[in-house]
Structure 1
Amino acid sequence: MRSCFACPWLKRHFSLVLGLKRFLLSGLEKLRHRSFAPGRRSGSTVAVVGSPEESWASSRRTRASMQGNRSRDTRPELALRRAVHRLGLRYRVASRPLPEVRRTADLVFTRVRVAVFLDGCFWHGCAAHHTVSKSNSVYWGEKVARNRARDQDTDRRLLDAGWVVLRIWEHEDPQAAAQRVKAVVLERRRRLDESVNRVESALGTASRPSAGGQRGGQAKQPAQDPPGQLCTTAEPNRQAITPEPKPHGA
């Protein structure tokens, strides 16, 4: 059997082939380590658990708990969505009420402009159930304060755009919360239908000839959309914020 070195080309470029082999093997090893390292999901940029120099978490347990938190489809969200769905309402899940603003609502009723947010008691500072973290309390206090400020800014943006904002705590009963959502949505539908009927009536009056043989006078001004409202829970520590209604024809 002839030796592999009998091939003149392979003998001449043996060092090049060997270097290429080592390069490919090292690349595969790095890729395998990156994809299956503990505490890291494939394709993410999260550091490996147990590397304190790469994480701001105070302990491995804290970091593992943070990595296990979901941004959507939590148990309270699923319970609320099922309860609302049983009442015959249909909605969008984890959608942006205002596409140009990076704020996501848990349930969105686009036609009647109702946005429902399910707030976590810890993350949004519930007065009844929020607990102060024993470790790294300064960081978590500032984090919750930023979340509350962001919530207020989100409410203001949606109110200015004519939306109704409904905020529900995760500790509330999902059945009772679903009834509140249904009441708000049906009320908005009623107002929207009345506005459409007034516009159609005004257009029909303008198209019919008057008693003098001439067309009717100027058409009535279409009714304005109802102003945005912020509907909160019935707890005494959360008050409803409703902007002052603008007079028609102003």
Structure 2
Amino acid sequence: MKAEDPVRRSATMRAVKSRDTTPELIVRALLRRFAPFYRLHRKDLIGNPDIAYVGRKRAIFVHGCFWHGHECARGARMPKANADYWRAKIERNRARDAANAEKLRTAGWRALTVWECELKDLEALEARLREFLQS
């Protein structure tokens, strides 16, 4: 590994956005077709959901497979460098996500997690979103 690789990797990781990501923008574009009037990144809600329908008490989280430890090919891939750090970080993210979902349920909200890999089939994702918002 070259000496500049850790520096370059650090800069790359710092540049990863937590809001208005490409997967989130795609989900929002789908929702605008049939369920506009959502709110974004409500800090007053448990877990700061990416998309919230306050009147319906529905929260949507758009998760990157790697960052949130999804059980797909991309989520299962673990960096070779500093593997212990990444394993612990992703496990903390998963535990936090589960705790936030439970707290939302307790508060009377329904939560849906949309995984980055689900964007491969937009038709199926749209059907899932419609069902979540109508139930």
Q: For each residue in 1:114-173, what CA deviation from the matched residue of structure 2 results, as whole angstroms up to 9, or x when unmatched? A: 000111110111111221111000000000000000011001100100100101101113
Indicate conservation of the 8 Å contact 1:89/1:182, yes or no: no
Deviating above 3 A after TM superposition, structure 1's stretches of 4 or more consecutive aligned residues are: none
Match of 2:103 among 157, 171, 177: 157
Q: Relative contact order, CA 8 A, sep 6+: which one is greater?
A: 2
Amino acid at match of 2:124: A
Contact 1:92 1:109 in 2 (8 A): yes
Say whether residues 1:90 and 2:44 are aligned partners. no
Give deviations 1:181-225, integer Å, cap 9, x for gaps.
Answer: 2222222xxxxxxxxxxxxxxxxxxxxxxxxxxxxxxxxxxxxxx
| TM-score, structure 2 normalization | 0.87
Larger radius of gyration: 1
* Matches of 1:104 and 1:175, distance apart in 2: 26
Q: Distance in 1 between matches of 2:81 and 2:56?
A: 44
Matched, 1:124 2:68: yes
Tell me, yes or no, if structure 1 residue 168 matches structure 2 residue 114. Answer: yes
CA distance in 2, matches of 1:88, 1:64: 37
2:12 alignment partner in structure 1 = 65
Q: Which amino acid aligns with 2:97?
A: D
Q: Tell me how far 1:175 sits from its aligned partner.
A: 4.0
Structure-1 separation of matches of 2:130 and 2:15: 32
- Correspondence for 1:181: 129
Q: Kindly, what percent of the aligned residue pairs are identical?
A: 35
Structure with bigger helix share is 2
Task: Determine the C-alpha separation between the residues in 2 that align with 1:161 and 1:178.
Answer: 26
1:73-88 to 2 correspondence within 5 Å? Answer: 73-88=20-35
Residues 97, 175 of structure 1: CA spacing in aligned structure 2 closer, same or farther, 3 A cutoff?
A: farther
Structure 2 partner of 1:231: none
Query: Which ranges in structure 1 are unaligned for 5 or more consecutive residues?
Result: 1-57, 188-250
Give the Å deviation of 1:176.
2.6
TM-score when scaled to structure 1? 0.48
What's the CA shift string for 1:65-113, capped at 9, x where partnerless? 1121001111111011001101243200111363xx4x21111000010
CA contact (8 A) 1:92 1:107 kept: yes
Q: Secondary structure at the match of 2:117?
A: coil
Structure 2: 5+ residue stretches without partners: none
One-letter amino acid of the structure 2 residue matched with residue 66 of structure 1: M
Partners in 1 of 2:104 and 2:125 — Cα distance? 20
Cα root mean square deviation, aligned = 1.8
Q: Cα distance, 1:177 vs. partner?
A: 2.1
